[in-house]
Homo-oligomer: A and B are copies of this chain.
Amino acid sequence: MSTAELYRSYKEKMQQIADVKYSAAVLQWDQETYLPPKGATARGRQLATLSEIAHKLFSDDKLGGLLNDLISKNDLNENEKRNVELTLEDYNRNKKYSSEFVRKLTEQVNRTFHSWIEARRKNSFSFFENDLSLLVALKKQETEILGYKVHPYNALLDEFEKGCTVEFLDKVFADLLPALKNILEKIRSKPQVDDSFLKKSFPKQQQWEWGIWLIKELHFDFDAGRQDMSEHPFTTSFGNEDVRITTRINESDFSSMTWSCIHEVGHALYEQGLPGDQYGLPLGEAASLGIHESQSRLWENNVGRSLHFWEHYFPVLQQKFPEQLSNISVVQFFKAINKSEPSLIRTEADELTYHFHVIIRYELERKLIEGSLNTKDIPVYWNERYENYLGTKSPDDLKGCLQDVHWSHGSFGYFPTYTLGSLFASQFFAAMRSEIPDINSKLKKGETKEILDWLRKNVHVFGRKYTSNELCQRISGKSLDSSFLVDHLLDKYSLIYNL
C-alpha cells in the first residue's frame, strides 16, 4: 500500500472509533438532559457496550500495524505525521492495560461511586473510605502499569495534561500560593462588598432567555449546537458542528446561571473552532484539559467578570431585569459579581479563593498516590488544610471531603487542570492584549469577535498538535508563569477593594 492508502485506512479506522465515541456522548448527553428515570438501567448497559466496542476497535492489532508502518514513512505532511505520532502514543498507552485490569478498575469505580452516594446520603466519610482505599490501591497499580519518571502521580497527571509533573506543579503552586494568600489577607482587612441584589428573585424563563441571548452575543453558533437544562452544567460535542451546552437556573441567585453560561460557552467555542476536517484524529481534538479550561476561564473571568464588558452589557441586563437591577450602578454590579471570601464548596468559590480548593486536593492526591497519606486520615488532613489556607472549617463531611465526585470516578490528576486553566487564561489574555491594544474600548462596545478570532488562530485551529506547554510558549514566548494570574487578580481586586 502507498503511504496515502495507509493513511486513508488509518483515518477511516479512527473516524469509525470516533463515531462510536461520539454516539456514546450523545447517549450521555441525553442521560443528563432528557432520560426518563426508569431508562437509566438500559442506558447503563448501552453505554458500557459502546465503550467496550470503542476500546476493542482502538486495541485492534491491525491499527497498531498500520501506525507502525506509517510512523516510518517520510512522505507524510507535518499534520499527518503529528496525527500518527499522537495516535501511536495513545495506542501504546492503551495497550498497556490488560483487559483484566480494566475490568477490575471499572468494577471498583462502580462500587466506589455508589459508596460515595451512600456516604453523602449518610453524611459520613466512613461509608466511602473502604472503597476509596481499594480504588487508590488500583490507581497506584496503574502508575506501575503505565510507568513514570520520579513520582508515580506523574503517570496519572499525564493522562489529563500531557507533560505535566509533580515537579512542575510544585514549582507553579509554590509561586502562586503565597501571592494568593497575600491578596486574600488584604481583602479580608477591607469592608466587604454588597451582592445582596444578586440574590433577589430572577424568574426562570427570563434567565433562560437572557442566557441564550448572551451566548449568542458571544458567538456561539446555534446552527452547530444547542443549550439545554441539566443538574450540573457541562459542554459536550459530537463533532465540531454539534456542540452542546447545558445549564441550570437558580431563581434566587443570578450569578449561578450567567457565569456558568459564559464558562460553558468558552468550552463550546473551542469545540466549534476545532478543525472539522480532522474529525476523529488527534488534530481534531482539544490540546489538553488545562487548555480546555483556559478557554472557559478566559471568557468567564478575564472577559465576563471585567468592568469593561459590563459597561456594555449591564444596561441591556438592566432592561431585562428592571425590577431587580434598576437602582444598581455598573460599578456596584461589577463589585458584586467579583465578591471574594473564603468558603467551603469549590464549585461555588470565587475566582481568587477557588485555587486554594484545588491546591488542597492536589496535595492530598499526591500524598495518597505516593503513599504518605492514608485514606482514613483524609477528613483530618482536609480540615487542617482548609483551616490553614482559607481559615474555614467544614461542619461535616458533606461540605468537606465528600463534596467532589472526581475521586469516586477514579479521576486522580484531574483537579490541577482547573488551576492550570486559570493560569493559561491569564497568560494568553495578556498576550492577546498586546496584539489587540484597544481591547478595552472594544469590550466597552460589546465587541468580542476579535477575542474569538485570536483564540481561533492561536489555540483552536491546532487541535492537539501542540502540548499545553508548547502552545503557551508559542503564544507568550515563555513557559507557564503564575505572575499573569496574580497580576490579573491584583488589578481586579485593587479596583474593588482599594487594596
Contacts and interface: CB of A to CB of B under 8 A. Distances in A.
Contacts of A23: 23-24, 27, 46, 49-50
A440 interface: no
Nearest to A240: B42
A19 B46 contact: yes
A242 interface: yes
A20 B56 CA distance: 14
B242 A15 contact: no
Nearest to A48: B19
A41 B22 CA distance: 13
B50 A20 contact: yes
A238 B24 CA distance: 14
Say how many copies of this protein the assembly contains.
2
Interface residues of chain A: helix, strand, loop or mixed (majority): helix
A39 interface: yes
Given A22-B42, A34-B226, A16 B49 contact: yes
A241 interface: yes
Interface in A212-250: 221-226, 228, 238-239, 241-242
Nearest to A19: B49
Interface string A5-41: 0000000000110011011101100100011111101
Contacts of A45: 15, 19
A228 B30 CA distance: 13
B42 A238 contact: yes
A313 interface: no
Interface of A: 15-16, 19-20, 22-24, 26-27, 30, 34-39, 41-43, 45-46, 48-50, 53, 221-226, 228, 238-239, 241-242, 279
Given A39-B225, A43-B238, A46-B238, 4 more contacts: A23-B24, A26-B27, A36-B224, A42-B241
